[in-house]
Chain A
Amino acid sequence: MKRFLIVGLMLVFIVSACGQEQAEVAETFDEAAKASEGTTVNFYLWGGDEGINRYLDDYVAPRLESSYGIELNRVPMDTAEFVRQLSLDKRADRERGTIDLMWINGDNFRNAAEADLLTGGLLERIPNATLLNEAAQATDAGTPTNGLEVAWGNVQFVLHYDAANVQNPPETFEELRRWTEENPGRFTYPEVTDFTGNAFVRHLLYAKYGDASRDMETIPDAFWDELASWSPNLWKQGQTYPKSLAQLDQLYASGEVWMTMGFNERRAEAEVNAGVFPEGTRALVLDHSISSTHFLAVPFNASNPNGALVVINELLAPEVQLMKQRDTYWGDGTSLDLDKLDERDREAFLSLDDGSTYPDPELLSDRQLPDYGPDVIDQIREGWTRVAR
């Protein structure tokens, strides 16, 4: 009996170790659509935002099911985690992985591209890619995308504050620092290993050194000393920082701090409507605001790359992008070039009503700033220890 069990187990091992060849990518979109009918696409992305989750589960997934017969399986995971999974796959020669499609950008993209973890040639197979905003598609935080990823959305960094507690909001980063002195314990930012926390420090870097900061070999000590001087007036006297944006949002929602921040100028609207963020939440655009594009990519070992292509095409459809930008679910800015859309679609985008938490769009685009490259992100991660200490 036991022998059988062991032999059986070994058989399972051997059988499952065989038949692992890389899946083939169809040449054209129509072939891909045909090949992927009735399949499942595993879509890996950060799962920390209910609005995003509902947008995909309640709006996108049913559309894919009815138009293409594709089942969309959303898998919540932190980006760096699944990029690590891919790099382990590479080392283990795993030709058919679990990830078919993923949300990626910035330093994670650079890492994945350098380690050769992505499938190329996406753009020519996706009809809707012709509608993309070319500037947004060209580079990802300074790294050329080379057709390894497709722009999905485009957002800018803003702060949000609770007008019930903050009467005269600061207008520059310098004023923000003084504001923290007058309101000790009411401000903090996520630690710089977090995507948002790191971006906040990049804004300060630009506020101090301007464009010169883009070519700096290392960040000067003076900058860190100045940032360290913020600490005594931060939440918990700067002894600890929120580990993630979600934690900062939690502090903001409970009224413990009076400001939060993040990429995506429209992100607070749904939170206010849901009663999570306070009624008085308003946007705050300081000296400048980094704009950031997020992308979709297909891993080198996707089991269902054709299904992934179909899903990407659907996610770029004007109607689907429009719903993404509405405050119904997510409020994420479009990655399409409005000039390339037809009249009706363009009007629809332009007429999206302003929410009470949206910043002035003109001010926002005036102060727009392209993002730094990944090297600066790494430098901030390394140097910031001096502040946290």
Chain B
Amino acid sequence: MRRLVILVLILLPFSGLFTSVPTFFFDDAIINTVIQVLVIVSLNVWLSIGTAWWLLFTETKWRTFIEWFLFLPLFIPALAGTFGMYIALARFGLVGTTIGVLIVLLVVTLPYSIRLAYNAMSVIGRPMFEQALFMPPLRRYRDVLFPLLSGTIQTIALMSTVIVLGQFVLIQLIGAGLISTVTTRLYQVYAGNDVALALQHTWLLILIPAVLYIAIGWGIRLGVKIVKGRL
């Protein structure tokens, strides 16, 4: 009984999705979005695991400082950060370009990913990783980090996908309106009259991370199987 109540509480909000029948479509904004997500997810996984590894195993007096340096951006209000980043990126001519948008998306996702990777690694514990300390980097990633952190990789991918998909103000400003994504379009649709259209976009925003999560899950399980087979 209690289980049922909790399930209903978790799932009830999804009921809104079924109030009208969405029709699916495919266009530039969706392609943009998927490419952004894939690039950002890969960069996040690669950077965060490497950084967390370094934080865990490097003995230097700079460690605490760097840890804080990587942590604090989480606490800058997104809105204010956006204006500052615009000025910085405009000097390099990156406003209104895909590269500029990718950079700021990395900025808003990476601190979370590093945190997740770092926490996961300290949970698994140093002893498990220490055996890999002297392996060449590629083998270290493939044979130790990848299998041990497979769940975390999946979580990092999910978190960064969802954060990327939640960005409106950021992409609108840094992309100067020229980079259109599902989210930027959705924002205009929410303000309009068409509930069915708004729902279509909402569906997309939920399906993209779900599909990606499942796909990455499969990929990882397959990968782990291959690695294990080789050992």
Q: Decide if A and B touch, CB cutoff 8 A.
A: yes
Q: Per a CB cutoff under 8 Å, which of B83, B87, B178, B192 touches A98?
A: B178
Contact A13–B92 (Cβ < 8 Å):
yes
Q: For the complex, what is the distance from the CA of A335 to the CA of B68, rounded to whole Å?
A: 58
Decide: B193 and A250 in contact? CB cutoff 8 A: yes
Q: Kindly list chain B residues whose C-beta atoms are within 8 Å of the C-beta of A89.
A: 90, 95
* A residues in contact with B191, CB < 8 Å: 48, 244, 246-247
CB within 8 Å of A: which B95-127 residues: 95-97, 99
Within 8 Å CB of A249, what residues of B? 193
User: Within 8 Å of chain A (Cβ to Cβ): is B38?
Assistant: no
User: For residue A17, which residues in chain B have a CB less than 8 angstroms away from its CB?
Assistant: 91-93
Contact between chains at B96 and A98 (CB < 8 Å): yes
User: Contact partner of B91 among A50, A77, A81, A92, CB < 8 A?
Assistant: A92
Roughly how many angstroms separate A249 CA and B173 CA in the complex, as a whole number?
27
- With A244-B191, A246-B191 already in contact, the answer to whether A98 and B90 are too (CB < 8 A) is no
With a cutoff of 8 Å between Cβ atoms, the chain A residues found around residue B91 in the complex are 17, 92-94
A124 to B126, CA, bound (A): 74
Query: What's the nearest-Cβ distance from chain A to residue B20, in Å?
Result: 13
A88 near B192: Cβ-Cβ < 8 Å: no
- For residues 1 through 53 of chain A, which have their beta carbon under 8 Å from a beta carbon of chain B? 12-13, 16-17, 20, 42, 44, 47-48, 50
A33-77 interface (Cβ within 8 A of B): 42, 44, 47-48, 50, 75-77
**A67 shortest CB reach to chain B, Å:** 25
A17 to B95, CA, bound (A): 11
Q: Which residues of A contact B192 (CB under 8 A)?
A: 48, 50, 246, 250
> Do the beta carbons of B172 and A92 come within 8 Å of each other?
no
**Given A47-B188, A88-B83, A250-B193, A75 and B93 touching (CB < 8 A)?**
no
Total of A-B residue pairs, C-beta within 8 Å: 65
Does B177 make an interface contact (CB < 8 A)? yes
Q: Which of A42, A44, A92, A247 has the most CB of B within 10 A?
A: A92
Contacts of A94 in B (CB 8 A): 90-91, 93, 95
Q: How far is the CB of B191 from chain A (nearest CB, A)?
A: 4
B141 close to A (CB within 8 Å): no
Q: Is A344 an interface residue (CB 8 A)?
A: no
B193: chain A residues at CB < 8 Å are 246, 249-250, 253, 276
Q: Is A85 an interface residue (CB 8 A)?
A: yes
Count the A residues whose beta carbon is within 8 Å of the partner chain — how many?
33
A389 within 8 A of B: no
User: Which among B83, B86, B176, B178 has the highest number of chain A CB atoms within 10 Å?
Assistant: B176
Q: Which residue of B lies closest to A246 (CB)?
A: B191
Is the C-beta of B94 less than 8 angstroms from some C-beta in chain A? yes
In the complex, whether A206 has a CB less than 8 A from a CB of chain B is no
Task: Indicate which residue in B87, B92, B94, B177 contacts A88 across the interface (CB closer than 8 Å).
Answer: B87
Using CB atoms, name the residue of chain A closest to B178.
Answer: A98
Residues of chain A contacted by B90 (CB below 8 angstroms): 88-89, 92, 94
Indicate if the CB atoms of A88 and B86 lie closer than 8 Å: yes
Nearest CB of A to B148, in Å: 23
Contact of B99 with A85 in the complex, beta carbons under 8 Å: no
Q: In the assembled complex, which residues on chain A have CB atoms less than 8 Å from the CB atom of B178?
A: 42, 75, 98
Contact A20 B93 (CB under 8 A): yes
Interface string of B6-47 (1 = CB under 8 A from A): 000000000000000000000000000000000000000000
- Cross-chain pairs A/B with CB under 8 angstroms, 23 sampled: A12-B99, A13-B94, A16-B93, A17-B93, A44-B177, A47-B188, A76-B177, A76-B188, A77-B172, A77-B177, A81-B172, A85-B176, A88-B90, A92-B86, A93-B91, A94-B90, A94-B91, A94-B95, A98-B96, A98-B178, A246-B191, A246-B192, A253-B193
Given A44-B177, A48-B191, 8 additional A-B pairs, CB 8 A: A13-B94, A16-B97, A48-B192, A77-B177, A85-B173, A92-B86, A246-B191, A250-B193
Partner-B contacts on A (CB < 8 A)? 12-13, 16-17, 20, 42, 44, 47-48, 50, 75-77, 81-82, 85, 88-89, 91-94, 96-99, 244, 246-247, 249-250, 253, 276
* Chain B interface (Cβ < 8 Å from any Cβ of A): 83, 86-87, 90-97, 99, 172-173, 176-178, 188, 191-193
Question: What 6 pairs between A and B have smallest CB-CB spacing?
Answer: A92-B90, A16-B93, A98-B176, A98-B96, A75-B177, A246-B191
